[in-house]
């Protein structure tokens, strides 16, 4: 099974490209102290808004800080936000989806109506409204993104549970005396993780994009902590004279989101049994 997955995954060149991008981001974030050519917080008033050069490959910002160093450290911030926020969303979504799909009845009605209610609110504006009452710290950002991004996962897990709970292996577990908790977490949920894994891969990209947008608006990760979004804010304020402040972090966000999307699509294609025997 695993070998077949890898064969299908490696045949998908776009998925492999996405995996390489994600792997490189991990390496950059882990090795940031050694890869960063300068201190990302060091201010040099003699080099304010210096263009790209041999000393500063991506130029400097409005305080003379090295943009490349801040982008390298910002990669770790983005990955942390993406994974923690997505992890929160997966836990909430998987639990509620499992309860709705397994028990049905009023459990399903209440949970799915709550999902519908949450989907009625534009997620980004809901996040903005919540942050307005909280301190815009990185931990608050991760929690808020996570608790507002679980609805799609709930729907996926619910659909899988409604199908899987009628399978023979679940019937056999019931006959052997397994309780509901064991059936849900030991027998059904592992078989429903395919769609969750794909949704999580795509969710990381969405969380990174949301964090960048919040930081760009000044209510996300706060300076001097480096973030791709707050580098873009400086680029917006100096777009006429410092194009590099918008170009390089914008490309970093674009490539990162594209990499996770390609990886998620590749995992889906490799795991989806309906695609086996296809390309």
Tell me what pLDDT residue 1 has: 60
Collect all residues with Cβ–Cβ distance below 8 Å to 143 and sequence separation of at least 6: 85, 88
End-to-end CA gap in the chain: 17
72-113 tens-digit pLDDT = 999 998 888 889 999 999 999 999 999 999 998 899 999 999
Higher pLDDT, 130 or 88: 88
Share of the chain above pLDDT 90, in %: 40
pLDDT, position 277: 43
Please, which residues have CB within 8 angstroms of residue 79's CB and are 6 or more apart in sequence? 25, 26, 29, 208
Percent of the chain whose predicted confidence (pLDDT) is above 70: 96
DSSP code for 66:
B
Distance of CA 43 to the CA centre of its chain: 31
**pLDDT tens, 1-42?**
677 878 888 888 998 999 999 999 999 999 999 999 999 999
For the domain made up of 2-39+76-275, give the CATH fold: MetI-like fold (1.10.3720)
Residue 106: how many CB atoms within 10 A of its CB? 8
Q: Tell me the domain boundaries of the chain.
A: 2-39+76-275
For the entire predicted model, the pTM comes to 0.87
Residue 278 pLDDT greater than 60, yes or no: no
């Amino acid at each position: 099974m695993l070998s077949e997955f890898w064969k299908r995954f490696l045949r998908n060149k776009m998925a492999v490209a996405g995996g390489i991008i994600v792997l490189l981001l991990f390496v950059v974030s882990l090795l940031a102290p050694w890869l960063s050519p300068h201190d990302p917080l060091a201010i040099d008033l003699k080099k304010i808004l210096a263009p790209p050069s041999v000393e500063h490959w991506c130029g400097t910002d409005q305080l003379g800080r090295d943009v490349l160093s801040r982008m390298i450290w910002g990669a770790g911030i983005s990955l942390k936000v993406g994974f923690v926020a997505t992890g929160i969303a997966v836990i909430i979504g998987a639990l509620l989806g499992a309860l709705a799909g397994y028990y049905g009845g009023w459990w399903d009605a209440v949970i799915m109506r709550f999902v519908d209610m949450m989907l009625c609110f534009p997620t980004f504006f809901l996040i903005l409204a919540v942050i307005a009452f909280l301190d815009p710290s990185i931990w608050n950002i991760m929690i808020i993104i996570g608790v507002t991004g679980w609805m799609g996962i709930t729907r996926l897990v619910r659909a899988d549970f409604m199908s899987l709970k009628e399978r023979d292996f679940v019937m056999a577990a019931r006959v052997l005396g397994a309780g509901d908790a064991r059936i849900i977490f030991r027998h059904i949920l592992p078989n429903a993780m395919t769609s969750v894994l794909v949704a999580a891969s795509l969710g990381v990209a969405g969380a990174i994009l949301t964090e960048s947008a919040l930081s760009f608006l000044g209510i996300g990760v706060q300076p001097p902590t480096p973030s791709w979004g707050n580098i873009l804010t400086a680029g917006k304020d100096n777009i006429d004279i410092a194009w590099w402040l918008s170009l390089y972090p914008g490309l970093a966000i674009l490539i990162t989101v594209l990499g996770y999307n390609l990886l998620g699509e590749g995992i889906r294609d490799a795991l989806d049994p309906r695609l086996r025997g296809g390309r």
